Amino acid sequence: MAISLRAKILISSLGLVLVLLVASSYVLNILVKGQVRRTAEADLRRTRTVFDANRAQRARHLVADSRLLSADYAFRSLVSTYDPATLRSAAQGFRQTLGSDLLAVTDERGILLAWTDDPGRAGANVADTPWAAAALAGDEATDLLAEEGAIVQLTAVPVRPAAVAPDVMGVLVLGFRLDDRVARELKQLTDSEVSLAVGGRLVASTLAPAAREALGRRLPEVRAARGPLDLDLGGERFLGLVAPLAPAGPAAGSTAPQGPGAAPVAIILHSLEPALAGLRRLQRGLWLVGLTAAGLAVGASVLISKGITEPVRHLVEGTRRVAAGVYDAPIVVRARDELGTLAEAFNGMMTDLLDRERVRSLMQKVVSKEIAEEMLRGPVELGGEEREATILFCDIRDFTAWTEGMPPKALVRQLNAYLTAMAAAIDAQRGVVDKFIGDAVMALFGVPVPDPDHPAHAVAAAQAMVARLDALNAERGGAGLAPLRMGIGIATGTVVAGTMGSADRLNYTVVGDVVNLASRLEGLTKTYGAPIIISEATHARLAGRFGTRTLGEVEVKGKREAVRIFTVEPGPVGAGRPGGGS
């Protein structure tokens, strides 16, 4: 289905605005999201720094408290009893006094005498743990371990019989849990969501229940991530960072679960929703402005397109009139721009076409249509070219006697009727009337329009002319007029065809010996009493397709040698001609 120019202008304007709007929204989305992501990544790194600093501070407090308690005389005396029941009872008091989450004591062999979180551990040998082994060797150590669904950061210090004694009579262990309480404190400090995990289990998180559950399901995927990751948890988008946890102090190894999927990790998440909500508000504002601009663009396009399409519509209508042959109806365009200039040029073209059509119409009345088109095809120059053609001459017998005493108007009327019938017969066989010479007709076959079978068409035209004359005489007899008789001479050969005359007056015609021969043969029809006489060259090209009869040889004026001539036997009009007339 064709789309009008006005619709194309509207669609183009609206499309341009929408493309710019979509492109602007797309670029804005990329820029803002990039900035949001960079800000979120910076917040994540800051949260991790705060988290590490918080753990390091707690580790320092644990070490300080452990040193203070291990140096206490009463505590050393209590440890030296190696009484598990007494130590268990005293351990809870010491833990509460120090504000730690865990307090444990071993003997000099590494056998647990007390463990505040799990009394049932008393009697267990922990000497092979890195932290206990370090403390039994006289060193201080920090470590991480999983404790009842929480990550516990602990310190282990040796307990000596005296402050300067080299021997170690046991190990003091203090610890604090990295649980929901710690995660909430970090969130208050950094405004980031903090989750802690060991293996495939979350042990602490500040996330809402739905997001926390979603993170738990995706924990293996999250733990395997390298670098920042995008997460959609419970319908909320987050940028996340996974931070492996290590002892925050002089480490002596770790008793926490080991392996890439088991080590304790902190999962720090920064919600992108506040920033994205701002982006969505900005995009809505952009679309509102863009759609308003699109409405204005449509209105402007309507006005502009009307100013363009109206003159174009007039031009189209004018073009259709020209195509229909109407050249005297100029278009009216009031525009004073390029379209107005185009309209003026179009009207000038119509005037030129009208003048040319008048010339063409006049020429086609003066000469044949084919000759007129040949002369109008391009620049007319004097000259010609050699062509093979068949020339036909036709003349009325006893024309002078026929015209005696006839009024001029009646003569012209009867002569025109005769010439019209002869010209029609010639046209029907692809012939071209070159000129009327009084009552005589000169016709061309094979020029200016090429015709490979021009001899046969010329003979067929002669037969048709004889038949039309018979029909015309029948009408004349009914009107009481005397019958007309005529003779036709036909010759085939090489002629020079072209535009001849002077620079001011031109005529398309042919010249050559063949033209003279055709004229002489037409004159011989009186002598032989035959209506049609053809030359030997014409006869040779017929190839027996017409009934002919030889008339012998005759000397023709202008010819050194005798010419063999033939007449065409009576028969059906056009008998034997290939393909008939056209």
Structural domains in the chain plus CATH codes: 33-284 (3.30.450.20), 381-568 (3.30.70.1230)
Rounded distance between C-alpha atoms, residue 416 and residue 108, angstroms: 150
pLDDT attached to residue 373: 60
Q: Which residues of the chain have a pLDDT value below 70?
A: 1-8, 10, 29, 32-33, 36, 147-149, 163-164, 247-262, 275-276, 278-280, 305-310, 313-314, 327-329, 331, 333-340, 343, 352-383, 501-506, 558, 570-582
pLDDT attached to residue 398: 80
Q: Distances from the Cα of 411 to the Cαs of 134, 265, 474, 478, in angstroms? A: 148, 126, 18, 18
DSSP string spanning 324-363?
TT--S--------SHHHHHHHHHHHHHHHHHHHHHHHHHH
pLDDT attached to residue 361: 59
Yes or no: say if 231 and 37 are a contact pair by the CB < 8 Å rule.
Answer: no
Yes or no: say if 519 and 434 are a contact pair by the CB < 8 Å rule.
Answer: no
**pTM of the predicted model as reported, rounded to 2 decimal places:** 0.48
Rounded distance between C-alpha atoms, residue 149 and residue 201, angstroms: 9
- 294-323 pLDDT, tens per residue? 777 777 777 776 666 667 766 777 777 777
Rounded distance between C-alpha atoms, residue 332 and residue 305, angstroms: 18
Tell me the backbone φ, ψ of residue 400, rounded to 5 degrees: -65, -45
Q: Of the candidates 465, 491, 477, which has an alpha carbon nearest to the alpha carbon of residue 563?
A: 491
- Note the Cα 73 to chain centre separation in Å: 89
Pairing, β 532-535 against β 486-501: parallel
HSE, CB side, 13 Å, CA atoms: give it for residue 408. 0
HSE, CB side, 13 Å, CA atoms: give it for residue 10. 13
Burial class (CB in 10 A: 0-12, 13-18, 19+), 520: buried
Q: What share of the chain is helix, strand, coil (3-state, %, to 5)?
A: 50, 25, 25
pLDDT attached to residue 271: 82
pLDDT attached to residue 540: 93
pLDDT attached to residue 309: 67
- CA dihedral in degrees (278, 284, 289, 290; nearest 10)? 120
Rounded distance between C-alpha atoms, residue 433 and residue 428, angstroms: 11
Question: H-helix or E-strand containing 288?
Answer: helix 273-323
**Helix 408-428 with 454-478: angle, nearest 10 deg:** 140
Secondary structure of residue 235 in the 3-state scheme:
coil
pLDDT attached to residue 390: 96
Burial class (CB in 10 A: 0-12, 13-18, 19+), 549: exposed
Q: Of the candidates 209, 194, 208, which has an alpha carbon nearest to the alpha carbon of residue 242?
A: 194
pLDDT attached to residue 259: 45
Q: Is the peptide bond before 570 cis (omega within 30 degrees of 0)?
A: no
Yes or no: say if 268 and 194 are a contact pair by the CB < 8 Å rule.
Answer: yes
Rounded distance between C-alpha atoms, residue 390 and residue 490, angstroms: 7
